[in-house]
């Protein structure tokens, strides 16, 4: 495509998607038609690909972090974990309980720590609220 670069504040892809649909209609249509093959059922997919990343493996941890970041940044519901193998065939999505009790608090603590660190280096700051 055109290789145009986009800057986003929250890291979502809406701007890129709108650009592609408006300026690259033929390419989008072609890509959608190529991907329109019949999707296997969940049972068929699991049976074909029984291997998953081990718990605690660097790849599993990396994908878990990417998932919780996506949920937080794109304001996705936690129910997204109902849909398995969205990212990688070997990636087994964490349970909703793990998201709620482990990954989300860990992400919160990480962001809070970075915020506090940034705040400690600031000469001044301003708080704005909308009532």
DSSP reduced 3-state for 116: helix
User: Where are the domains positioned within the chain?
Assistant: 8-37, 40-120
Enter the DSSP assignment of 55.
Answer: T
C-alpha span between 35 and 37 (Å, rounded): 6
Mean pLDDT of the chain: 79
Q: Say how far apart CA 11 and CA 13 lie, in whole Å.
A: 7
pLDDT at residue 87, as a whole number: 60
The model's pLDDT over 32-66, given as tens digits with 9 standing for 90+, comes to: 676 555 566 666 665 565 577 888 889 889 988 98
d(CA 15, CA 17): 5
Instruction: Return the pLDDT at 109.
Output: 94
pTM of the model: 0.52
- Encoded tokens for 79: 């129910």
Tens of pLDDT along 58-85?
988 998 898 898 888 888 888 877 765 5
């Amino acid at each position: 495509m055109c290789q145009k670069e986009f800057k986003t504040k929250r890291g979502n892809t809406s701007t890129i998607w709108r650009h592609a649909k408006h300026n690259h209609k033929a390419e989008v249509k072609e890509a959608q038609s190529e991907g329109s093959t019949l999707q296997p059922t969940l049972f068929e997919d699991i049976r074909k690909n029984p291997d998953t990343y081990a718990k605690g493996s660097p790849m599993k941890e990396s994908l878990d972090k990417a998932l919780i970041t996506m949920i937080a940044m794109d304001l996705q519901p936690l129910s997204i974990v109902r849909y398995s193998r969205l990212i990688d065939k070997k990636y087994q999505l964490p349970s909703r309980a793990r998201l709620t009790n482990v990954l989300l608090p860990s992400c919160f603590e990480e962001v809070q720590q970075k915020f506090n660190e940034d705040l400690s280096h600031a000469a001044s700051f301003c708080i704005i609220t909308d009532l």
